[in-house]
Amino acid sequence: MLIGISLVSFFIMHLAPGDVTSSEASFNPKASEESRQKLRELYNLDKPVIIQYGLWVKRIAQLDFGNSFASHQKPVLWERTDKSGNVTKGLIQESLPITLMINLLGICIIFSISIFLGTLSAVRQNTWVDRSITLFVFIGFAIPGFWLALLLMYWTGVSNQWLPISGLHSLGYQNLSGFGQFIDLLKHLVLPVSISSLSGLAGISLYVRNGMLDILHQDFITTARSKGLKESKVVFIHALKNAILPLITIIGLSIPGLIGGSVIAESIFAIPGMGKLFYDSVLMRDFPVIMGILTIGSFLTLIGNLLADVGYAWADPRVRKGLVK
């Protein structure tokens, strides 16, 4: 699978016209074509695609992700120390934690709100509560994210100055105490995280709702009810546990999204995450970075799927006891 992804993306990438020497900045009469040709040779961009791919695989086999073209030799993956002890951080090393932090926060919020809304919807099926929740989550899904983001930035940042508008840190945050820095970061994260969560609510909460509906009609729930257990206990302990089990698989499947980040949100909120890094690399035709992100991405996806399987097996007693294959 890793090979498949790398092969597909390598060829797509090289079929797209242009390379790193054709950026807008280099379209400048002071920059001569000969020197651009020289650059192409230095980066091996003049070789046939298949040979470039071979060279890339050879390096990757030694876990060498290479250096970025566009940011002039910043390492793609991990930091590098030169002989005099100067450290140059890797591009993915810098972006991935930011994106992960935002998306993990987002997913926690999505899941907790969705489970609540979904359950409530299912219990009150076809009442106005159910319908309002459905309407609400759909509006969250349907509203164009960047528009809402700008409106909220204006409202909370400009006219009321409750929250910072963009970026991750305030000016001079270094002078804050550790706790102050944490609060500062949280404040900066409120808008990006809530915008990205809003669009995710619809899918998960409907999933929980439908799962709950299925389960509430099953025999063991009827049994539990007939035993005289309180309805709340039936719903929240017996049914909910079973309904959220499949969510573990969803977490596994959402790993690519977790590390991918969102170009649009990251551009609007000026957050240097993976989405922006990837988008810029594509526009600059920065091949080592594109390949690096895709490879790391698919690698983590594989691990994610594996973990989801293991987690599901661990959580589902039937699988755990070997009753179900």
For residues 109-148, which are near other proteins according to CB under 8 A?
128, 131-132, 134-136, 138-139, 141-147
Residue 187's φ and ψ, nearest 5 degrees, are -60, -40
Q: Which two tokens stand for residue 225?
A: 């009810």
Question: In the set 235, 268, 291, 308, which binds other proteins (CB under 8 A)?
Answer: 268
Nearer to other proteins among residue 69 and residue 312 (C-beta):
69
Q: Write down the least CB distance from residue 297 to other proteins, Å.
A: 6
| Stretch 224-253: interaction string toward other proteins, x if CB under 8 A | ------------------------------
The DSSP secondary-structure symbol of 21 reads: G
Question: In the set 100, 109, 176, 319, which binds other proteins (CB under 8 A)?
Answer: 176
Q: Using CB under 8 A, which of the segments 51-59, 107-115, 240-248, 261-269 binds other proteins?
A: 261-269
**177 is an interface residue for other proteins by CB under 8 A:** no
Nearer to other proteins among residue 240 and residue 260 (C-beta):
260
316 vs 111: CA distance, rounded Å: 19
Do the beta carbons of residue 9 and residue 295 sit within 8 Å? no
- Residue 255, C-beta contacts closer than 8 angstroms, at least 6 positions apart: 300, 301, 303, 304, 305
Nearer to other proteins among residue 161 and residue 232 (C-beta):
161
Q: Write down the least CB distance from residue 155 to other proteins, Å.
A: 4
Q: Write down the least CB distance from residue 307 to other proteins, Å.
A: 15
Nearer to other proteins among residue 123 and residue 153 (C-beta):
153
Q: Using CB under 8 A, which of the segments 113-121, 218-226, 262-270, 310-318 binds other proteins?
A: 262-270
In 94-155, which ranges are E strands?
A: none
Question: In the set 109, 264, 315, 319, which binds other proteins (CB under 8 A)?
Answer: 264
Q: Which two tokens stand for residue 90?
A: 């890797």
In 21-143, which ranges are E strands?
A: 80-81, 87-88
**150 is an interface residue for other proteins by CB under 8 A:** yes
Is 82 in a helix, a strand, or coil? coil
Residue bearing tokens 């809304």: 117
166 vs 152: CA distance, rounded Å: 11
Considering only CA atoms, which of 69, 110, 139 is closest in space to residue 287? 69
Q: Using CB under 8 A, which of the segments 57-65, 116-124, 279-287, 311-319 binds other proteins?
A: 279-287
**272 is an interface residue for other proteins by CB under 8 A:** yes
Q: Using CB under 8 A, which of the segments 152-160, 222-230, 237-245, 316-324 binds other proteins?
A: 152-160
The count of other CB atoms within 10 Å of the CB of residue 104 is 12
Q: Using CB under 8 A, which of the segments 55-63, 220-228, 264-272, 307-315 binds other proteins?
A: 264-272
Nearer to other proteins among residue 68 and residue 119 (C-beta):
68
Task: Kindly tell me the burial class for residue 273, based on how many C-beta atoms sit within 10 Å of its own C-beta (0-12, 13-18, 19 or more).
Answer: buried
Judged by CB under 8 A, the chain residues 8 through 67 that form the site for other proteins are 8-9, 12-13, 15-19, 21-39, 42, 67
Q: Write down the least CB distance from residue 134 to other proteins, Å.
A: 6
245 vs 222: CA distance, rounded Å: 20
Q: Is 25 left (phi over 0), alpha (psi -120 to 50) or beta?
A: alpha
92 vs 276: CA distance, rounded Å: 11
Interface with other proteins (CB under 8 A), residue total: 114
